[in-house]
Amino acid sequence: MISIGLDPLALAVIYGNREPPLPPVNTSAPTIAGTPQVGASLTGTTGSWDNITDQNLFWSWQLNAADIPAQNGTGAVVEPLLLTDSHLLGAVRLRVTATTGGGRVSQYSGALTVVHVPPVALGGTPVIAFRIDDPGLTQSVVSGFTGAGLSYALAPGSAALPAGLSLSASGAITGTATGPSGDTTITVRASNTGGFADRSWIVRIATPAFSADYETGSYSAIGIPSADFDDLHAFTRASEASYTDAGGLIAFAGPNEPRLQHTAAGAPLGLLIEPPSTNIFLQSEDFTDAGLYTNKITVTANAVAAPDGTITAELLESTGANGELYRQMPCIAGVEYRFSLWLRCPSGTVDLHIRLRTADGTLFAGNLLTVTTSWQRFEVSKVVPDGETALRACLGGASSFTSGEAVYIWGAQVEEAGTAAGTYVRSGATAGMRATETISLDVLDPGIHDITTIDTDSTRRTQFGVVVTGSYWPSDVVMPRRIYGYPSAFEGLTLPNGSFLQTESGLALTLETRS
């Protein structure tokens, strides 16, 4: 209690022979009551006093011993204090001051520390699912509790999360499950300043219904733990087709044989699926053929190992200024053609032109190349001018390939250009052809599936709720390293094509039918 008064001499001067006022006397301290939680209200009393009237009382709510603005008043009735986040973890008390002519006295209630409302766990044991080797999926336990200011952790005695997963303080379970498959029951504790609550979840780790890992050549499906390519796919191609093998060499797959593409260093890239193509540059590996025009060039056949490892690359040597070689072939005006071939030098470097000309020799596309001692595939492409019915695919000439310079050459190709250069198509006396490739996943049962593809550039795309009624292949696949799928969470629903769904977590899905 704090008392402020006047000494007797001063009072005698002020009041003379009259009886001076008595100072206020507190006989019972102010009190506060209520649950000190955010959102609740505290009530207070001013206590008991002698020598005063109610009008002589002034009260004020305090937070950490400082008055709370606009939470004060006069008289014996104290207005309740609504607790908010601004009071959280602070000590709230009530100060009451009594004033008379005899002095001023302040008295305080006890203090209460403000906390959150304790969390409440919802009922049930929900299932949250993860998929083996499927990163990027986040599951939340937040919806399993009510309360503010919550943080989350595994409760004491809980089973550990499955390998590869972790629980953050914000309630997110993230990671990449590594298996094995099965169910694990965990207990999560949600805590705040007011207390804690526990709730159980079943964490389910699922294995793919099928998995095709083209990079490693590993295939599996439900009921076929050690499958091969043909167990999961239906694939056709009526011709041979080339690819780069694990040794970095150009190789040729026979009809109906799938291809795994590699880098020049032999690193696997993915399953190679291409549109059809026709090479109209005849005798693509024979530069002694009579159908080729040569000027100031000598050709030595089968001089060195070619990009496919066979001794079929040929040596071109310039015997004068502007040595040149070309083949003329029919074409379609207004269509883009691509001319490509492999070149390397016996030593040093050589600058060479690679060009496309019309039948009368008019240039309409060209690149100046620098050929080194490593095999490289060079190309040039352009739309054939209107009115033209033939083109020339030319190497050298035009102030390049001077006397004494030499290059090895292999694998010339002229084709109608697509969006990107295709693999090599070898030709002989007639045009070479890479036939149409068809592929589908025939391991999928009819139903709704979630299918993930990982392309050679590591782009990961998941199509949710794909309705499969027959053979299926994911759309817009560039060169898949891996494709795998799971029965969808929407299996069993009967929905029309294009139906819009909203999951509990807010993920918007549109179903599409593939057959």
With a cut of 70, say whether residue 16 has pLDDT above it: no
Is residue 194 a contact partner of residue 37, using CB atoms and an 8 Å limit?
yes
pLDDT at 495 over 50: no
Regarding whether 394 and 339 lie in a shared domain, the answer is yes
Domain contains 421: yes
Chain Cα centroid distance, residue 452:
12
Given 412, 434, 456, which residue is the final one in a domain?
434
Q: Is residue 242 part of a domain?
A: no
Structure tokens of 234? 């239906």
Instruction: Examine the domain organization and report whether 283 and 406 are in the same domain.
Output: yes
pLDDT, tens digit, 9 for 90 and up, residues 291-346:
999 999 999 999 999 999 999 999 999 999 889 999 999 999 999 999 999 999 99
Domain that holds residue 422: 278-434
Together in a domain, 343 and 285: yes
User: Taking residues 204-218, what's their average pLDDT?
Assistant: 88
Same domain flag for 194 and 131: yes
Whether the CB-CB separation of 152 and 170 falls below 8 Å is answered with yes
Same structural domain, 400 and 286: yes
Same domain, 420 and 316: yes
Bridge partners for 277 per DSSP: 434
Domain count, the chain: 4
380: in domain: yes
**Is the residue at 478 inside a domain?**
yes
Instruction: Give the number of C-alpha atoms closer than 13 A to the C-alpha of residue 420, restricted to the C-beta side.
Output: 6
Domain final residue pick, 434, 468, 495: 434
Residues 6+ apart with CB under 8 A from 433: 239, 276, 277, 278, 279, 425
Residues 427 and 306 in one domain: yes
Q: Tell me: do 48 and 181 sit in the same domain.
A: no
Query: Do both 73 and 144 map to the same domain?
Result: no
For residue 499, is pLDDT > 70?
no
Give the 3-state DSSP-derived string for 39-86, with helices as H, strands as E and coil as C: CCEEEEECCEEECCCHHHEEEEEEECCEEEEEEEEECCECCCEECCHH
Q: Tell me the one-letter amino acid at 27.
A: T
* Pairwise CA distance, residues 464 & 500, whole Å: 12
Distance CA 224, CA 244 (A): 30
Tell me how crowded residue 438 is: count the other CB atoms within 10 A of its CB. Answer: 13
Whether 507 shows a pLDDT value over 60: the answer reads: no
pLDDT band, residue 92 (cuts 50/70/90): very high
Model confidence, pTM: 0.67
Q: Same domain for 291 and 392?
A: yes
Domain contains 224: no
CATH code, domain with 53? 2.60.40
- Of 86, 113, 140, the last residue of a domain is 113
pLDDT at res. 4: 45
Give the CATH number of the domain where residue 326 resides.
2.60.120.260
Angle at 16 between CA 12 and CA 18, to 5 degrees: 105
Whether 165 is covered by a domain: the verdict is: yes
Residues 102 and 161 in one domain: no
Q: Which of 374, 377, 335 is nearest to 356 (CA)?
A: 335
Reply yes or no on whether the pLDDT at 221 is more than 90: no
- Give the CATH number, domain containing residue 200: 2.60.40.10
101 or 189, greater pLDDT: 189
Statement to judge: residues 494 and 407 lie in one domain: no
Q: Is the pLDDT of residue 117 over 80?
A: yes
